[in-house]
A and B are shown apart, each in its own frame.
Chain A
Amino acid sequence: MLGQVVISGLLAGALYSMVALGLGLIFGVMRVLNVSHGPLLMLGAYTTFWLFQWWGLNPYLSLLVTMPLLFVVGVVLQRLFVSRVVDAPELSSLLLTFGISIALVNIAQLAFTADLRSVEYLTGSFVLGPFAFSKSRVIACAFAIVITAGAFLFLKMTRLGKAIRAVSQSREVAQVCGINVARIHLIAFGIGSALAAAGAPSSRSWSPYSPRWGRRIPSSPSSSSCWGARGTIRARSSAASSSASSSRSPRSSSPPR
């Protein structure tokens, strides 16, 4: 029983850590705690759902659409709203992103109704001795590891990644070195939103959900982001895995309201 909980927790933790990576990126670069991260994931999930419903598109393939789409949504949100509160006290950004969050959930309810939806993809489990590995979770975990590693390499290796890290370390010095800070902020929010969307196909495939669900998920990713916010990406990933395995006890795995 305990072993099963640990396995499910670690598998889910990889996914949470990927979603929280986007949150942590935004927080690290701008000191903005993005409360609307969950609703952004929810938008990605609905895009995945409709693509699957209309054209039977494989949820993981549909990321080629959802991630760029959410990148654009993130950039627009940053440009219109968040950029105005980057330097304000933290209360402003918390409230602002909360306002965005309830507006997004309400728009999604109007557009998609509040019905529970799910994608029938990769059902069933691999059984190995006494333990069951849910297929969708194993795939989600592998995928999350790939994306997390990709984001890690992007931040470490590329010029743009270096610029993003420079801005998060010291905005003034980065500016003096000729980095366009406002542009980096736009890109960081865009990438953060796209990483939220990257969680869409995986989470969609193991529990059905409705627009309101978008408001409930952030409690896990945001908690892991505040554990790992000060540290490195590696710290953040391990925080997410441990918080997921602690919260994924059988009691709390009932369907989200």
Chain B
Amino acid sequence: MKRLALFALLLLLAVLALYPMRGTGYGVRFMLQLFMWIALAQSWNLISGLTGYVSFGHIAFFGMGAYTAGILIVKLGWPWLWASLAGGVGAVVLALVIGWPCLRLKGPYFAIAMLGLNEVLRVAVSYFEGLTGGGSGLSLPALYASVPIYYAMGVVALAVTGLAYVIVTSRFGLRLMTIREDEVAAEAMGIDTFRYKLYAFLLSAVGPGIVGGLAARDQSYIEPISVFPLIMTITMIVMVLFGGKGTIWGPVLGAVLLFTLQEMIWARFIYLHQLLFGAIIITVVLLMPRGILGVLQQKYHLPRTI
């Protein structure tokens, strides 16, 4: 069974690796954005799905990565791959600065603090016009092929999912889940909760940072409102909830299903898509807060490494 699953996974990866040779331009771009959403949802899952600390402004790391990479590419002429990795580093530094004070907050206050971080960054980026181009944005040199970005995004999505697997199956993951279930009990058992929360937070910032840099390169133009939108944070949270919070494959499943659904809605009902998206959010929250995999896990006693 396990070997079969591994074989299927490798087959899927091979198909995805060969896809750009046969795929249409739209298909490649669709998959590229899907990889981006998988990486974002999976990263949010690392902090919020495992420790229960709701990051309500996780897209701030995406924006941080996008601007770090964008500035390095435009001002210093770095190649996009290195710039994007630097974007990941930038996001981790931001996570360290913010996580240090904010991870001591409990309950809704952490969520509000993260929401505030996103707003503050957006305004700060608009303010420092010399570096960031301010409200008129930052134009990157023209991009001729999106296939390299496709592979880079795919590798990031795979790496973040692999990281989730490693964490969930390790003692570190167990500690994080103990914090989620009962933080006081975790402390009583000798877990340095603040330190582990901070580690999880830092790890959850890497993916969005790199992906932000890649997305900036892919779109060739970034502006404050396009890289710090609250709606993207909400989208990745809903993806994780839909698939199954705290599981390994839940965020992937949620991202694939929800992104495809959104694309279909967007194409058919252009005037109604926000209303329908709102309806999807309400439905997911009210009817299946445990997500698809969460329900299956409970019903069929599936292992937690799913």
Contact = CB atoms under 8 A, between A and B. Distances in A.
Interface of A: 31, 33, 81, 84-85, 88-92, 94-96, 98-107, 109-110, 219, 222-223, 226, 257
Contacts of B225: 257
Contacts of B281: 95-96, 98-99, 102
Q: Across chains A and B, which 8 residue pairs bring their CB atoms closest together, nearest first?
A: A103-B278, A99-B281, A106-B274, A106-B275, A90-B108, A99-B282, A102-B278, A99-B278
Contact of B277 (A102, A104, A222): A102
Contact of A226 (B109, B282, B285): B109
Contacts of A91: 48, 54, 111, 237, 241
Central interface residue in B54, B237, B278, by most chain A CB within 10 Å = B278
Contacts of B48: 91
Nearest to B281: A99
A103 B279 contact: yes
Contacts of A95: 234, 237-238, 241, 281, 284-285
B271 interface: yes
Contacts of B116: 223
Nearest to B52: A89
A81 B234 CA distance: 18
A126 B78 CA distance: 56
A94 B111 contact: yes
Contacts of A106: 272, 274-275, 278
A31 B112 CA distance: 13
A33 B113 CA distance: 13
B101 interface: no
Best-surrounded residue of A88, A90, A95 (most CB of chain B within 10 A): A95
Nearest to A81: B282
Contacts of B274: 102-103, 105-106, 109
Given A95-B285, A102-B278, 8 more contacts: A81-B286, A90-B107, A98-B281, A99-B277, A99-B282, A106-B274, A106-B278, A107-B275
A219 B115 CA distance: 9
A100 B278 contact: yes
Contacts of B109: 226
Interface string B107-128: 1110110011001000000000
Nearest to B238: A95
Given A91-B111, A91-B237, A85 B275 contact: no
Contacts of A107: 275
Nearest to A215: B230
B237 A99 contact: no
Nearest to B54: A91
Interface string B47-86: 0100010101000000000000000000000000000000
A115 to B, nearest CB: 15
Given A91-B237, A95-B237, A98-B281, A103 B112 contact: no
Contacts of A226: 109, 112
Contacts of B275: 102-103, 106-107, 110
A31 B282 contact: no
Contacts of A222: 112, 115
B133 interface: no
B182 to A, nearest CB: 13
A94 B56 contact: yes
B231 interface: yes
A59 B75 CA distance: 52
Given A102-B231, A223-B116, A85 B271 contact: no
Listed residue (B109, B237, B238, B286) with the most chain A CB atoms within 10 angstroms of its CB: B286
Given A95-B281, A101-B278, A106-B275, A90 B231 contact: no
A242 to B, nearest CB: 16
B137 interface: no
Interface string B244-277: 0000000000000000000000000001101101
Contacts of B289: 88, 92
Contacts of B279: 99, 103
Given A101-B278, A105-B274, A92 B119 contact: no
Contacts of B238: 95
A96 B271 CA distance: 21
A225 to B, nearest CB: 9
B54 A90 contact: yes
Contacts of B112: 33, 222, 226
Given A103-B275, A105-B274, A96 B282 contact: yes
20 contacts: A33-B112, A81-B286, A88-B289, A89-B52, A90-B54, A90-B108, A94-B54, A94-B108, A94-B111, A96-B282, A99-B282, A102-B275, A102-B277, A102-B278, A102-B281, A103-B274, A103-B278, A105-B274, A110-B271, A222-B115
A131 to B, nearest CB: 27
A96 B286 contact: yes
B57 to A, nearest CB: 11
Contacts of B230: 98
A90 B54 CA distance: 8
Contacts of A89: 52, 54
